[in-house]
Structure 1
Amino acid sequence: MNGLIVVNQSIGHNQYKINRFLEEGKKLGIDLNVLINNGTTAKIENGEIVLSIPKYDFVIYLDKDIYLARILERQGYRLFNKADFIKLCDDKMLTLIRCANEGWPIIKTLPGPLVYTDELTEENYHFLDHVIDELGLPLVAKRVYGSLGEGVYLIDTKDKLKEFYKVNYRSPLLFEEYISSSKGRSLRAIVIDKKVIGIIERDNPADFRSNFGTTNFSTKVEKNEKCWRFAEKISQKLDIEYAGIDFLYDKNEEPILCEINSNAFFEEFEKTTNINVAKLFLEMIINKVKHEQQ
């Protein structure tokens, strides 16, 4: 069996995942190649999709380039994860919309309106009064696209909220209630094939974002049945093949859904839990591909 690992040209933290997949793939007898997505892989010419790569049994898609993902799927490639799921998780607001109305505890969230003018008007700023009325201060302001805590801000005054909006209004935004009981703390459940394989707690004494910077650390969660069951409900409902599901702690120390990451990094998780994520991921792929090719 052969597979392709697609990664963004800004490899960054994905290097660990690539190395681990190559290592475990060799043990499992899988021939894996790596494609750095630099924009030269695909085109539409004379009304047809043209690719510069051969056919593979599967693709481990570590990029968030939805265009290439959809092109590959259109040409019959089996992606892990699928393009629809990558898009759903990449947009934090879409994730929460999909998870709403299921009876699950989710952070109170307001989507930001799109603004098409070159300059903000007083009418645009009136929305911020609504945000403060709904969420109070401090509150969390986010760009809907981002990872590792980037584009996430704790706002404690109206002036700071206006400044955030002035700088970021051209980007899709969301605004969330600040869960002070979870300051610098979160839970991450890793899911493979709709099953939770383990949970870690991430702590950051220097920032309200548990996954930001170099001061954060993690510990294995030996027992948190509520979080485990919650994560499995989500994974079953969304038919998750691979993801990291992040939870915060509410004031009663109960898990509340924060976000879902389709391309979740697992270096920290593997080193904290000694669970072989790369092997389990590849074994899931082998079983699914064999079944789907029958």
Structure 2
Amino acid sequence: MNINIINSMNGIFIVNQEIGHNAHKVERLTEEFEKIGVSIEVFVNNGTLALIRENHIQINLPKADFVVYMDKDIYLARLLERAGYRLFNRPDFMKLCDDKMLTFIACANNGIIMPTTISGPLVYYGLKDTHLNFLESVENELGYPMVVKKVYGSLGEGVYLVKDHEELSKLYVEICRNPIVFQKYISSSAGKSIRVLIIDGKVFGAFIRKNVYDFRSNYGEKASGENVEDISRYEEFAGRIIKLFDIEYAGIDLLDNEGQLMLCEMNSNAFFEEFESITRLNAAKAVVDMIIKKVQLENE
């Protein structure tokens, strides 16, 4: 790396108004960037950072060599990219990961094993009795219990386990105005998943998440984790996904169905506080190294 060039670099972090778990990510990435002399400014996405005025995109941010985008506002991300900012991750990949059904569609027909998945039909207006008829085909395909997920959501929010027709019908009435998916329940992986961290197109490390209190391994404060020393099994599976996408940084969650790995979901804005604590690997430095390398190569 050219130290003089690096010392002249500056970056921007974009965070949501509810910074939440990203606070640790901001702290760690800032720490690693400052070690190599890269200045960082943090901006909160409060709706005033960009607009289209007189047919042109206008950005209310300083120029920067890169943007680490820690929000899920795809519109601001696309505005910034159109205005010439280099985002990590890129908006197309963010959208792919944020929409669970798009993730499954993109991975299908590519040798990536996943639970049987059904996309729920959109409900535009009031729910009619006839709208519930398709639940019978969902039941016949998936059986009970089954998993129902809102397409958008993280940290286990919007993910439900339903045990019978009554629960399914009641839940569907409540959430049908949201894009949703129905999935086969993998009972052997209840309360357990494997988080694989991808940095610069390679598996950086992995750990196992466990939750004895809930079927969602990543839900609630009582979830725990353990390090994985031999990650070769996960590297092989994740490698198939890496080949499909230009993954700069992502968390891939896997299920273990009695020895058969399956894709659960992907996250383009994966937190790494838990990862670093459990694995003792410096994920923040690896992300910083990847960003600096990419920016330098793209500006040669």
TM-score, normalised by the number of residues in structure 2: 0.96
Instruction: Name stretches of at least 5 consecutive residues in structure 2 with no aligned partner.
Output: 1-8
Give the corresponding residue for 2:5. none
- In the alignment, structure 1 residue 13 sits paired with structure 2 residue 14: no
1:198-224 deviations in Å (ceiling 9; x for gaps): 010000000000000011100111124
| 1:132 matches 2:139 | yes
SS at match of 2:183: strand
Q: Verify the 8 A CA contact 2:112 2:240 in the aligned structure 1.
A: no
- Summarize deviations over 1:19-46 as a string: whole Å, max 9, x none: 0011111102111110100000111111
Match of 1:229 in 2: 236
Aligned equivalents of 2:103, 2:64: Cα separation in 1 = 30
The residue aligned with 2:299 is 293
Q: Which residues in structure 2 correspond to 1:133-148 (within 5 Å)?
A: 133-148=140-155
Aligned mates of 2:169, 2:23 — CA distance in 1? 38
- Structure 1, unmatched stretches of 5+, are none
Shift of 1:228: 1.6
Amino acid at match of 1:89: C
Match of residue 75, structure 2, among 59, 67, 74: 67
Q: Look up the match of 1:86.
A: 94
**Could you tell me whether the CA contact under 8 Å between 1:142 and 1:151 is conserved in 2?**
yes
2:172 equivalent to 1:173: no
SS in 2 for 1:275: coil
Which secondary structure state, in structure 1, belongs to the residue aligned with residue 133 of structure 2? helix
Answer yes or no: is the 8 Å Cα contact 1:226–1:254 preserved in 2: no
Q: 2:283 aligns with which of 262, 265, 277?
A: 277
CA distance in 2 between partners of 1:222 and 1:123 (Å): 52
Report the AA paired with residue 291 of structure 1: L
- Distance in 2, matches of 1:229 and 1:30, equals 35
* Correspondence 1:1-294 to 2 at 5 A: 1-118=9-126, 120-251=127-258, 253-294=259-300
Q: Aligned-pair RMSD on alpha carbons? A: 0.8
Moved more, 218-227 or 271-280: 218-227
Distance 1:31 1:224, change over 3 A: closer
Deviation at 1:89, TM superposition (A): 0.4
For the residue of structure 1 that corresponds to 2:182, the secondary structure is strand
Task: Tell me the distance in 1 between the aligned counterparts of 2:280 and 2:239.
Answer: 21
Q: Give the share of equivalent positions with the same residue, in percent.
A: 52
Measure the CA separation in 2 of the matches of 1:144 and 1:270.
28
Instruction: Give distance in 1, aligned partners of 2:225 and 2:94.
Output: 25
Letter aligned with residue 289 of structure 1:
V
What amino acid sits opposite 1:213 in the alignment?
G
SS in 2 for 1:25: helix
Count, aligned residues: 292
2:85 and 2:39 map into 1 onto residues whose CA distance is: 16
Q: Deviations over 1:156-182 (max 9, x none)?
A: 010110111101000000000000000
Give the SS at the match of 2:153: coil
